[in-house]
């Protein structure tokens, strides 16, 4: 398939499906927030070095290096904008479990997830508008859809910020209820989301097959870049190994589900963007589990287990 044709694909997803998808993402976020405590935010205030380094890598370095990567790789404008959007999203909700299995600092991972999700309300629309506008080709897409960062802000508040707040309130004031619904809530919401993705994929199967070869390499390089930025940043600033692993996984596991919602909400399911975000959602799990496998067989010396 001619790469330029990817920009002409618009994936099929009707308005009612979009509303349902937004609701499912909100439920997923609520389920994840049930695992969070105000203590996670207090921990950041008491020991801000690790989270600050991680958030800098997440919201400053990754978007900036992604912009440079889109200038190097032979990607189309919609694919480039999809990469920028994924890079502007917060960490994904699988990062905490992967960090634990990889022998990383799970407390740091949870703290980063909590803070990055809250920060994404501002940083995601800001980074998308900033880096997308610097490339004339991607800026043309932003102008064509008349993207207003405030509209993105409002959407993220509804599907991330509000569920995050409600989940923390539930775990704080209704701990018994939170304990009962935490596991089934997360499981059901993730299963429903996977069914939505499968349905959308089925409705667009031919488009997916025609374009996947064009995006697979780009996503592979982009994800490797994200993991490298996370680990290298933590190493340069003197974090111990268990913290480096946490930061690397947190930066490398992006909330591609949020990216998909924004693509369907504001860009009409633009093919290059949607396929980039969709494949990211598959690949970052494969890459993350590969890192878990690699690191789990390289235990950290007891002397290096302390927190930074």
Element (H, E) at 275: helix 271-296
Cα separation, 281 vs 57, whole angstroms: 20
Backbone φ and ψ for 270, nearest 5 degrees, come out as -50, 125
- Written as one string, the DSSP assignment of 228-268 is HHHHHHHHHTT--HHHHHHHHHHHHSB-HHHHHHHHHHHST
The answer to whether residue 241 scores a pLDDT higher than 50 is: yes
At 163-186, the pLDDT tens digits run 888 888 888 888 888 888 877 776
Considering the chain, what is the average pLDDT of its residues? 81
- Rounded to the nearest 5°, which phi and psi values hold at 10? -125, 115
* Helix count and strand count (H, E) for the chain: 16, 0
Cβ(164)–Cβ(26) below 8 Å? no
Rounded CA-CA distance 177/198 in Å is: 31
Contact status, residue 155 vs residue 23, Cβ threshold 8 Å = no
Residue whose token pair is 């740091």: 108
d(CA 269, CA 280): 15
Q: The pTM is what?
A: 0.79
Closest to 58 (Cα-Cα) out of 106, 139, 98, 118: 118
Length of the chain: 308
Both tokens of 215, joined, read: 């995006």
All domains in the chain, ordered by first residue:
3-299 (1.20.1530.20)
> Which pLDDT tens digit goes with each residue over 47-94?
788 889 999 999 999 999 999 999 999 888 989 999 999 999 988 767
Q: How far is it, in rounded angstroms, from Cα 175 to Cα 285? A: 30
For the ranges 2-6, 12-16, 142-146, 176-180, the one whose mean pLDDT is highest = 176-180
- Give the closest residue to 204 by CA, choosing from 2, 3, 17: 17
Q: Quickly state the pLDDT bin for 9 (edges 50, 70, 90).
A: low
């Amino acid at each position: 398939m001619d790469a330029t044709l990817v920009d002409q694909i618009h994936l099929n997803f009707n308005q009612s499906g979009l509303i349902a998808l937004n609701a499912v993402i909100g439920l997923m976020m609520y389920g994840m927030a049930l695992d969070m405590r105000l203590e996670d935010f207090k921990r950041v205030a008491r020991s801000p070095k690790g989270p600050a380094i991680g958030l800098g890598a997440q919201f400053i370095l990754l978007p900036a290096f992604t912009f440079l990567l889109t200038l190097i790789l032979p990607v189309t404008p919609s694919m480039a904008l999809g990469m920028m959007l994924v890079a502007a999203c917060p960490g994904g909700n699988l990062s905490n479990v992967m960090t634990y299995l990889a022998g990383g600092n799970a407390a740091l991972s949870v703290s980063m997830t909590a803070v990055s999700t809250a920060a994404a309300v501002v940083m995601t629309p800001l980074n998308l508008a900033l880096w997308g506008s610097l490339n004339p080709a991607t800026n043309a897409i932003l102008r064509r859809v008349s993207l207003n960062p405030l509209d993105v802000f409002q959407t993220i508040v509804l599907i991330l910020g509000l569920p995050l707040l409600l989940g923390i309130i539930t775990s704080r004031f209704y701990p018994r209820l939170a304990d009962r619904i935490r596991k089934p809530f997360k499981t059901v919401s993730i299963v429903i989301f996977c069914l939505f993705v499968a349905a959308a994929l089925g409705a667009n199967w031919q488009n997916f097959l025609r374009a996947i070869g064009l995006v697979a390499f780009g996503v592979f390089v982009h994800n490797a870049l994200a993991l490298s930025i996370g680990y290298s940043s933590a190493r340069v600033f003197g974090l111990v190994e268990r913290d480096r692993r946490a930061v690397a996984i947190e930066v490398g596991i992006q909330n591609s589900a949020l990216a998909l919602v924004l693509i369907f909400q504001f860009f009409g399911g633009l093919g290059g963007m949607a396929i980039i975000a969709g494949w990211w959602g598959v690949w970052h799990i494969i890459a993350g589990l590969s890192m878990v496998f690699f690191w789990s067989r390289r235990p950290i010396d007891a002397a290096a287990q302390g927190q930074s």
